[in-house]
C-alpha cells in the first residue's frame, strides 16, 4: 500500500467533495469547458513552480510513498494534486453560492410536507435555476 499513499490521499479528497456536486448541487464537473479554461493556467503556473522548486532542491518526493510514475519531471500524483485541490475549492465555492437556494428549498420541502400531511395539494417545486451564479 505504501506506493499508493499519495494517490489515496488525493482520492480521499475527491471522494469527500463529490457529494458537493452530486447532492448539494454544485455545478463544477458539469461545466467541463469552463473548468478546463480555468484550470489550465493554474496547472501550468504551479507545475512550473514545482519543477523549479524540485530543480533547486526546495522539496522532493518520497520514492516509497509514490507510484514512481514520472510525468514531465514530476510524479503524476503531483499533477493530480494541481487538479484535485482546485476542484475541492471550486466545489466549496459553488455550494456556498447555492446556500440561499438550498435553504429556501429546505423550507419549501418542509411546508410542502406540512401541506401534504394536511391533505392539501402540494405546490410544484420552484425550478432551481442558474441564479446560483450570483455572488
Partner 1 sequence: MAAEYTIAAVAAPVAVVGLELAVLRTGLLRTVRYWVTVAISLAFMVPVDGWLTRPDATVVHYAEEQISGLRAPWHIPVEDYGFGLALITLTLLLWQRQRGRTPAEGEARDG
Which residues contribute to the site for partner 1 (CB under 8 A)? 5-6, 9, 13, 16, 25, 27, 30-35, 37-39, 41-42, 45-46, 49, 53, 56-62, 65-66, 82, 85-86, 88-90, 92-93, 96-97, 127-130, 133, 135
User: Please, which residue, 72 or 119, has the CB nearer to partner 1?
Assistant: 72
User: Please, which residue, 119 or 134, has the CB nearer to partner 1?
Assistant: 134
CA 49, CA 15: separation in Å to the nearest integer?
27
User: Please, which residue, 63 or 120, has the CB nearer to partner 1?
Assistant: 63
**Which positions ≥6 away from 67 have C-beta within 8 Å?**
3, 4, 6, 7, 75, 76, 77
Q: CA geometry: angle at 17 spanning 16 and 20, to 5°? A: 130
Amino acid at each position: 500500500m505504501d506506493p499508493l499513499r499519495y494517490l489515496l490521499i488525493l482520492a480521499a479528497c475527491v471522494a469527500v467533495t463529490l457529494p458537493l456536486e452530486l447532492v448539494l448541487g454544485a455545478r463544477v464537473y458539469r461545466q467541463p469547458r469552463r473548468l478546463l479554461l480555468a484550470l489550465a493556467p493554474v496547472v501550468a503556473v504551479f507545475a512550473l513552480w514545482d519543477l523549479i522548486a524540485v530543480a533547486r532542491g526546495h522539496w522532493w518526493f518520497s520514492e516509497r510513498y509514490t507510484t514512481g510514475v514520472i510525468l514531465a519531471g514530476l510524479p503524476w500524483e503531483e499533477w493530480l494534486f494541481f487538479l484535485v485541490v482546485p476542484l475541492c475549492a471550486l466545489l466549496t465555492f459553488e455550494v456556498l453560492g447555492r446556500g440561499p437556494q438550498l435553504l429556501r428549498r429546505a423550507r419549501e420541502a418542509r411546508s410542502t410536507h406540512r401541506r401534504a400531511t394536511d391533505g392539501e395539494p402540494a405546490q410544484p417545486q420552484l425550478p432551481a435555476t442558474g441564479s446560483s451564479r450570483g455572488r
